[in-house]
Structure 1
Amino acid sequence: ATAQVVHFDIPENRADVPWSRALSSLLPDDVAVLSHDIVDDDFHSRFHAVSKTYEYVLWHEPRFVLPQRRAFVWNCGPVDVDAMREAAAVLAGTHDFSAFQNVGTPVKDTVRTLDPVEVLPGLSPQETVWRFTADGFLKQMVRNLVGCLVEAGRGKLSADSVRSILNERDRKAAPATAPAQGLTLVRVLYPGFDSAEAARGGYDHCLGTCGAH
């Protein structure tokens, strides 16, 4: 995650502690608290989110992966991006995404609203970035969607097949889950607050990213 948000309770007499620096000093090198602020007692970093955005990076050169990118991409090889776009268009909208939920986290319902999937250039010519924004996600939903889209890009699924999988609402009907290393949480949106903006603002921004509330 580059823009995760968390919350926790603190004693009133600790409100003035520089929490960003204090917590970052205790965390491993690959985790940092970028900003923080005091929020209402009823604020919940999970349940008050309006939407979340994930990005998944695919690597398309089968002969090599740059060492700097190896931990952050799935080397899926060559794919038909247009076929993937066509399949992705089927997924946009409000649907029951049961077919793309892995077991492990109980939820009240499996209906989610997914924005049109965006395809962006990556950090190198060998990459594409697939951006997913929704009002919420099921367990490993993005990785399951990517696994399905890549199969479409390999010519193994048509857009109609993806629609059938979606309508069937059976996880067993969908392709395997994509690897974890290509996935990043890049934004959590709340009323009046965007965690991605806070992440870009760093320590000087109010409200927290990967931080204390």
Structure 2
Amino acid sequence: MPRLRLTLAYDGTHFSGWQLQAPGLGRTVQGCLEEALATLCAQPVRVHGAGRTDAGVHALAQVAHADVPRSRTGFPWQKALNALLPKDLSVLEAVETDPAFHARFDAVGKEYRYTLWTDPRFVLPWRRPYVWDVGRRGVLDVAAMDACAGLFAGYRDFAAFQNAGTVVNSTVRQVHGVVRLPDAPEHEMVWQFRAEGFLKQMVRNLMGALVAVGRGKVSPEDIRSVLTKGQRSLAPGTAPACGLCLHAVEYASDGRGHKRHLFHQPEAGQG
């Protein structure tokens, strides 16, 4: 069967995450895609995603794959799917790929971005679903946040920043960098998280720690100690889902034999 590679964008506000849920437990991205593909293929189709984003988390470039009937070879998948999908989910690209390609297991890196709203006077209404409003709680100590972010880079055990719910063989992850981007829109602070992979809610937990440092509740050295001890109960709380977006997924090739390197460039400066 031909294998489709899909690149997706979605507003996670009204989704119960990526992964299929039991009936009555909420609409999911995977569920909407499988329903649309089943309609187009006249048979059930299973979709596999690169990452299982949580309820409320957004995506600019989620990647997924699905096997479709050979009789649909050459079908205009992007146009057809977008005609059936809800307005908060779009297919940015749909191409046939190597039958061995796997959206999740072939991924070699992911980039998430988290956006903070820092103006204490107001939040633009149309930005509220996509930011964490931290401005009303006072000015953040950005220098301390930058110092803390530097602690997360490298090959480290992030057990203290994993929420319960997923069994993993190891809580060690290679983090390429956590940096504050210098070109954020006015009133916003955008943090970039790049790694080979992340634990459950790890990015939101790291962001929660950075904000706690910025507010002076804990110091970078406190967070260093939390990392060393590896106990989730010692770490600050989890940041809200609304500010998080899956920005990119990296693969060694694009499934058509072309090399792709999203993360080989020097890290963004800490503006």
Summarize deviations over 1:160-196 as a string: whole Å, max 9, x none: 1111111111111111100011000010000133598
CA distance in 2, matches of 1:124, 1:135: 27
What residue in structure 1 maps to residue 50 of structure 2?
none
What residue in structure 1 maps to residue 60 of structure 2?
2
Aligned equivalent of 1:19, options 77, 80, 88: 77
Contact 1:117/1:132 (<8 A) preserved: yes
Contact 1:2/1:186 (<8 A) preserved: yes
**TM-score, L = length of structure 2:** 0.69
What residue in structure 2 maps to residue 81 of structure 1?
142
How many corresponding residue pairs? 196
RMSD between aligned residues: 1.5
Bigger Cα displacement from structure 2, 123-132 vs 27-36: 123-132
Aligned equivalent of 2:221, options 142, 156, 160: 160
Contact 1:87/1:159 (<8 A) preserved: yes
Aligned equivalent of 1:70, options 128, 140, 160: 128
Higher relative CO (Cα under 8 Å, sequence separation at least 6) belongs to 1
CA distance in 2, matches of 1:181, 1:195: 28
Aligned equivalent of 2:192, options 131, 134, 155: 131
Aligned equivalent of 2:173, options 95, 104, 112: 112
CA distance in 2, matches of 1:122, 1:79: 18
2:121 aligned partner, one-letter code? R
CA distance in 2, matches of 1:195, 1:179: 30
Q: Aligned with 2:185: secondary structure?
A: coil
Counterparts of 1:163-202 in structure 2, within 5 Å, are 163-193=224-254
CA distance in 1, matches of 2:223, 2:73: 50
Long gaps (5+) in structure 2? 1-58, 255-259, 263-271
CA apart distance, 1:122? 5.9
Identity %: 52
Summarize deviations over 1:113-146 as a string: whole Å, max 9, x none: 1122121246532111000000001111100000
Per the alignment, do residues 68 and 172 of structure 1 end up closer, same or farther by CA in structure 2, a change over 3 Å counting? Answer: same
Are 2:100 and 1:42 equivalent residues in the alignment? yes
1:124 aligned partner, one-letter code? P
CA apart distance, 1:43? 1.3
CA distance in 1, matches of 2:169, 2:73: 35
CA distance in 2, matches of 1:195, 1:17: 29
1:143 aligned partner, one-letter code? R
Per the alignment, do residues 122 and 31 of structure 1 end up closer, same or farther by CA in structure 2, a change over 3 Å counting? Answer: farther
CA distance in 2, matches of 1:46, 1:138: 14
What residue in structure 1 maps to residue 88 of structure 2?
30
